[in-house]
Amino acid sequence: MKITPNVVAQNTSVAYKLTLKNTSNIESIEVLSRSNYYHKDSLDYTIKNSRILFTYNMPHIGEFVIKVNFTYKESKIVCLYCLDKEMMKLRPLKGDLHMHSIRSDGRATPFAMVIASLGAGMDFVSVTDHDNYDGSLQAIKKVKEHDIDVLALAGEEVSVGGKKDMSIALGNGHILSIHANQSIEEQRQDSEKYEAELHDIAEALKSEDIDKNIDPAHYAKNIWVIDKIKEAQGVAILAHPNWVYRDGKYHLHQAFYKEMLKSSHLDGVEVFGEEKIKEHNNMTHLTALQTKNSHKYLAPFGNSDAHDSDHEVGERFTILFVKEKSASGIITAITDGLACAVCKRGNDEHQFIGKDALAQYVYFLIKEYYPKHSRLKSRLAKLYIDQLINGEKFDRKIQIVKERLETHTTSFFQA
């Protein structure tokens, strides 16, 4: 049983088409709200060419169930989702903003990582090599050259303590630079200027109300990286803040973590990272510091931190809600906090971190919209790979899959 559209605007009269193999012996059709226990209506409908047609005005935001009751067999249900009119203007994009290639400690080329991400159903991606900006630029170039249907953004995972200190970090951790117009690591090459800027930041921090356990000269490196990302028109995402490294200590000083959430210009926090990273207290920190204490809301991110094309790609990802499918649309969604982090916990189980309304909507999309979306994206990736390996053009086949993706989206969401 299938219905269109699946996502509709609140308080809007919508004409629905419900497709059912056998429309005989229908006793009644009902609509029930899952968010409002008391909401239940009987629907007036007509049957035309094996399609059930009805019009309804969804009064509540949240998930609804259309229940078809039969005379001699069990009822069937199909799910819908109702949004406010502002959210209806946005569309979901699925992506991964943290992965590595052979340009740092990865085992596949930047372009191979992009294709693997497309195969895992991603709409946008960033190759974020350690202190290396060029890998992401190479990926972007290849995507444009081969007309690949995925948004590739510039990226770099900055070792805040310095390039030679990539893993140990001395408590400074790592920060993802996304869509910046220049490399952050390259700006540290002028050591004299870098040290002078760190000194100025440390002096300014001494007059600010920061945690007494924080050494301003040590913490200044974190602020420098974030400021440089912002100056380069990028977004700054804190990477794996609870990673316990080989020495048994947190890779990032936890006082730095809390202070950055509270007073820095970070745009987001990676709340789901590689499996070995125990991110158990991310949600606690985010909730306490952003809701209870009214600090700036930071977008939560799920990222693979993949180091190979078959290394956990697709296990963790982020759903962003955008006005347009473009790099600027993605950046706007991040800065507006329109993000939900997702982690797969099994074949059909997922964990979500995001604003409550977004997380509920993403749960619906994961079970109703993304299965077909991911299958089509996977098919598209295979066609691109065949084309690249065999040196043949599959333009018509690729176009057909693109058209199916477009049809799936336009029919799923109310125009």
Tokens linked to 353: 């971190």
Number of residues written out for the chain: 415
Tokens linked to 277: 């990273």
**Which DSSP state fits 264?**
S
DSSP bridge pairs for 76? 68
The strand pair at 76-83 and 62-70 is best described as antiparallel
Please give the sequence-ordered ranges of beta strands (E in DSSP) within 84-188, or none if there are none: 91-96, 124-126, 151-153, 155-159, 174-178
Distance CA 150, CA 206 (A): 45
Q: Which has the closest alpha carbon to 203: 226, 186, 188, 223?
A: 223
> Cα-flanking dihedrals φ and ψ of residue 407, to 5°?
-65, -40
pLDDT in tens, the chain (415 residues): 999 999 999 999 999 999 998 888 999 999 999 989 999 999 999 999 889 999 999 999 999 999 999 998 899 999 999 999 999 999 999 999 999 999 999 999 999 999 999 999 999 999 999 999 999 999 999 999 999 999 999 999 999 998 665 555 678 999 999 999 999 999 999 999 999 999 999 999 999 989 888 999 999 999 999 999 999 999 999 998 888 776 778 888 989 988 898 888 999 999 887 654 455 445 545 555 555 445 677 899 999 999 999 888 999 999 999 999 999 999 999 999 999 999 988 777 898 888 889 999 999 999 999 999 999 999 999 999 999 998 888 999 999 999 999 999 999 999 8
Distance CA 277, CA 243 (A): 5
Q: Which has the closest alpha carbon to 122: 276, 338, 342, 269?
A: 342
Domain architecture of the chain: domains with CATH = 2-85 (2.60.40.10), 90-368 (3.20.20.140), 375-407 (no CATH)
